[in-house]
Structures are given as C-alpha cells and as structure tokens.
Amino acid sequence: MTKVIILGGGFGGVFTAKHLKKIAPPDTDIRLISENNYFTFQPLLPEVAAGAIGASDSVTPLRVLLPGVRTVMGEVRAIDLARKNVDIVQGSKRRIKTMTYDHLVLALGQVVHLSRVPGLEEHAFPIKHSAHALRLRNHVINCLEYADSVDDPQIKARLLTFVVVGAGFSGVETVGEIKDMIDRSLKFYPNIAKADVRTVLVEFSDRILGELPEKLANYAQERLARQGIDVWLNTAVKSASATTVEMADGRILTSSTVVATIGNGPSPLIEALDIEKERGRLKVDRFMRIPGVDGAWAVGDAALIPLTDTPEGPRDYAPPTAQFAVREGQQLAANVAAQISGAPLKAFHYVPRGAMASIGNYRAVASTMGVQLHGVLAWLLWRTFYLGMLPGAVTKLRVVLNWALDLFAPRNLGQVQEVKKPSAKYMRFSEGQEVFEPGMIPDGFYTIVSGSCRLEIPRDDGGAPYRRDLKVGDHFGERVLFRQQLRTGRVTALEDSRVLRVQRDDFWRLSSSFPMLEKYFKNYIAENFPEDLRPHVLGGTERDTKTPPKS
C-alpha cells in the first residue's frame, strides 16, 4: 500500500487529491492534511466581505469534496524529508502525532507577508481566508454605524475613507464590491451622504490588473472611476497606522480601513525546509518533483514550476493563480500515479484560457480565447465561470440563490459577530484532574486563582521526580517563554481549583516586550528549578523534547 500525504487544502492540494483518488490504485492511502476542515474558494472572498454571499458559501468541507480521501484537520508542526514523515497536532489533547509517507505533496500555498511596509502588518486587513472576509465585512459595517452617529467631522471622514492597497484581481474586486455594498446601504444611514464616502485604490505600478490586456484594464479603471473610486497609480505605500496611510510621495490618507491585497510569502513550514527556493517558492522540476528529495513534490503557489526548458535553464514559470493550480494538481496526481505504477512522468504544460475580474456594480472584464469582453455580459460570464468551478451542487445552488436574492434585495447588513471574550481564560479543574502532562504542546502560562495544584517533572536519570505544590497566586508553565519544547511536567489539581490561563502567544508578546516580567521569570526559574530542568537559554541542561519519539 502506497501512502500519499498532501499538505494543504487549497486549489493545488484539493485537485491533486481529487484526481489522485480517481486514477491511483484503489489501495493507495491518500491523506490530505489541512488546518481547516474546508476548502476556501478565494475568488469569492470579496463578495463575502461585501455581504453578497454568506461566509459558508465560500467554503466547502474537504470531506464532502473528497470522498475516499482521508482528510485530517490538524496543524503541521514539522516535515522530516529524510525519514519521510510529518508531525501534526490536533486541537484535542495537543500531542504530536507522526505520520509516514511514500509520497509527500507540498501544497501549502503562500501566506500574507506584510512586514515590508511598517504598520501594514499591525493595521491592514488581509483578505485570504473567509475569516478575513468576515472580519472586513464587520469592520466596514462598524465604520458605517459609527459614522452615522459620530459628531466629530474628522472622525467621520476617517471612518468613511476606505483604502485598498494593490490593484490586482483581489484588490480591484474588493474595492469594487465594498464600494457597491456601501452605496447600496447608504439609504439606511440617514446621516451619511454619498459624498462623505471615499474609496481609494492604491497601486505601485502604472496600471491596474497587470494580468489583463491593457485595453480591458483601462475599461475597468474607467468603470471604477465612474463608481466614484479614486485610483492612485505609481503610488507606493510607505507606512500605515491605526488612523493613517502614508504614501512614499508624502500624501497621507486618514482612514480606519486599509485592506492589503499585496505581500505574499512562503508559509513558515516551507521556509523551514532545507530545500532550494526562489522568490519564496520551492524549486521543482517540470514534473513538479523536488530535485534530490525522494518522494517529495510541490504544487500551487508554494511551488515554482518551470513551463519551458532551455539550455540555460527555465525561463517561464507557472503563475500563482487558481487556474494554474487546478491544472498543476491534476498533472501532479497523474505523475504520482505514474510513479507508483512505474510509468513515465509528464512535464506540466498549460496554456491559460483567459482571465477575468469582477469590478463591482454588475460589471466585469474578461479576456478569453482572443476575445475581450467587458460590462454586464462579462460579469455574467464571470459568474458562470466561477459557478462552474465551485465544488458541489449544493454550494452552487446556494451561491446562485444568494446572487439572485442580491439582485433585488438590500444587502444584509447584520454583522456576524465573534464572541467577545478575554483571551486570558479561567478554567476549573476537579480534585485529581490533570491540567497538562508531559508530551503536550505548551498552550500558555497558568496562575492559580483558587485551590492548589501539584507540579511533577520526571527526571531523565530515573531519579526522584521534581515536585512542587503550588497554591493561590503561584504559577506554572512559565518555562514556555524560554523554549520551543513540549511539556515535560505534569500538573494535577490537588483539590477543586480555578486557574487562569494566558495564551502562549499573548504571554510571549507581553513578557518579551516588558523587561521586568522576563527578568522575574529568569530569576524564578534559576531559583526554583534544578539545572537539568532549566531551559538551555537560561544556562540549564534540560533535555530537548522538541523532536518527540517517532512511532
């Protein structure tokens, strides 16, 4: 039985899995591991952000999409290309689970990297996942709600200025959809005039929609202008803050909303791999194999796939678009199947069918098979095309119904709120219950609010375990600050107890920017733990449990 593990549930991963299931020998064990249990149809996210369709209409559960494929919702912690296995972690019990493979398909896509422009990472809204789209939607509605009742004209102007950075497909569609939603909703906001709203699309290059023929891009730009959207070309964003976006040329926009559709980079897992990369993408051959690594393949945005071979090496590469990822996945599946059966592999080759962009207000631009279209007809084509790509009849039907409703009904302005809760969480443990145990992923820092707990750490030399009884006001889990390792201690409630858990990331951020706290913990660990239980960075000799025993 051949084991194939596919990492990532985007276009590349899903189409690899789907096609492989069809053509691979029936006893092939195909697993797809993804952080989410669903596939996100990214081209529809601007419509989710604008409330034209519901958030769940842009996602399809992977299990429903991929019958016969074993889908595993989990977080990949490590990839061991030499031993051919993958470490994953699932939400319950938070222990590392190791899975071995014969073939590994890296389809991890790209992640949003905004750190190059100061302030964008802190304040911009990305739009890559459905959660991003929902958050943006809630935020835009918040701005309208507050602008409707705020007295200060400066704050009102700030709330009603919406900036989208990057005029590729995603940026153009997002700015068009948001403007459309706002225009259609203003009748419900008696204190906001149409002229109060400002939308700006900022683009670094000298034109929008670089992937499309210039004529269409010009048409699109004109339509955006007619919709009342400012398009700033040849404009670089220099920095952003909670209330401003500053351009390199000195212009400053006062705005509460910056959407960033720029800045992609490799996922941290790809970055950590000791494999040649170029522009943050994994170098593969024309068969999508990773050279020199047995059984390793890459597909989609994570891979740099050559389209041609010249004596000087490849010149053209597959662009990181959904259209290409779908074809790549199909070809990769065929190649993995061929490899399993000993057949020859085929180089990836694809001539794109065309490109389309929706620009809001029932308009789109399209260029396909030598024909260029724009306006309402192109928009209908766009919708039909994406509908065809949407997986599953029910999802298709849902989206069509939503679109139909959207034609004559007001946009749904009801927010889909997240639960507002402090991230520091109180937890209760009954007498004898375990808070955590050795081998778990450290989840945070704990203080005891009531009751008492016992900390026990087994020793490597088989000696008596380190033991410490903790009472109200005492804390545990503080060593997570200084190490990447799994828990080595066990904490048990000695009586019915209430503890406060501060999430690991929050605790790390606070401690590392608040020197007093870091110093306190360093002293605490030095004074309270023997040398063999002190983290390396604090001069201890604690054993490294980063790589857990493989099964």
Could you say whether residue 29 binds a copy of itself (CB under 8 A)?
A: no
| CB of residue 251 to a copy of itself, shortest distance in Å | 14
What span, in angstroms and rounded, lies between the C-alpha atoms of 471 and 297?
52
Print the binding letters for residues 186-225 with a copy of itself: x by CB under 8 A, - otherwise. Answer: --xxx-----------------------------------
Whose Cβ is closer to a copy of itself: residue 368's or residue 415's?
Answer: 415
Instruction: Figure out which of the listed residues 170, 244, 331, 485 binds a copy of itself, where binding follows CB under 8 A.
Output: 244
Question: CB-based contacts of 370: which residues, under 8 Å, 6+ apart?
Answer: none
What span, in angstroms and rounded, lies between the C-alpha atoms of 478 and 476?
5
| CB of residue 196 to a copy of itself, shortest distance in Å | 15
| CB of residue 400 to a copy of itself, shortest distance in Å | 10
> Interface residues for a copy of itself in 37-66 (CB under 8 A)?
37-38, 51, 54-56, 59-61, 63-64
Instruction: Figure out which of the listed residues 141, 224, 303, 455 binds a copy of itself, where binding follows CB under 8 A.
Output: 141
> Interface residues for a copy of itself in 312-371 (CB under 8 A)?
none
Instruction: Figure out which of the listed residues 342, 463, 515, 549 binds a copy of itself, where binding follows CB under 8 A.
Output: 515
> Interface residues for a copy of itself in 387-426 (CB under 8 A)?
393-394, 397-398, 401, 405, 409-410, 412-420, 422-426
| CB of residue 171 to a copy of itself, shortest distance in Å | 20
What span, in angstroms and rounded, lies between the C-alpha atoms of 86 and 76?
7
Question: CB-based contacts of 1: which residues, under 8 Å, 6+ apart?
Answer: 27, 28, 29
Instruction: Figure out which of the listed residues 205, 234, 308, 433 binds a copy of itself, where binding follows CB under 8 A.
Output: 433
> Interface residues for a copy of itself in 470-499 (CB under 8 A)?
473, 475, 496, 498
DSSP code at position 290: P
> Interface residues for a copy of itself in 66-105 (CB under 8 A)?
70, 72-74, 90-93, 97
Q: Read off φ and ψ for residue 372, nearest 5 degrees.
A: -115, 130
Which 3 state secondary structure label does DSSP give 492? Answer: strand
Instruction: Figure out which of the listed residues 160, 172, 224, 240 binds a copy of itself, where binding follows CB under 8 A.
Output: 240
DSSP code at position 125: B
For 318-343, give the secondary structure using H, E and C. Answer: CCCCHHHHHHHHHHHHHHHHHHHHCC
Q: Positive or negative CA dihedral for 208, 388, 55, 299?
A: negative
> Interface residues for a copy of itself in 155-184 (CB under 8 A)?
155, 158-159
Where do we find the tokens 């662009």?
319
| CB of residue 418 to a copy of itself, shortest distance in Å | 5
Instruction: Figure out which of the listed residues 36, 321, 368, 545 binds a copy of itself, where binding follows CB under 8 A.
Output: 36
| CB of residue 144 to a copy of itself, shortest distance in Å | 9
> Interface residues for a copy of itself in 437-456 (CB under 8 A)?
447-449
Whose Cβ is closer to a copy of itself: residue 518's or residue 532's?
Answer: 518
| Straight-line distance from the first to the last Cα atom of the chain, in angstroms, rounded to the nearest whole number | 19
List C-alpha distances in Å: 338 to 166, 190, 195, 289: 41, 64, 61, 13
Contact 246, 252 (CB under 8 A): yes
Nearest CA to 355 out of 133, 39, 43, 52 is that of: 43
> Interface residues for a copy of itself in 248-307 (CB under 8 A)?
256
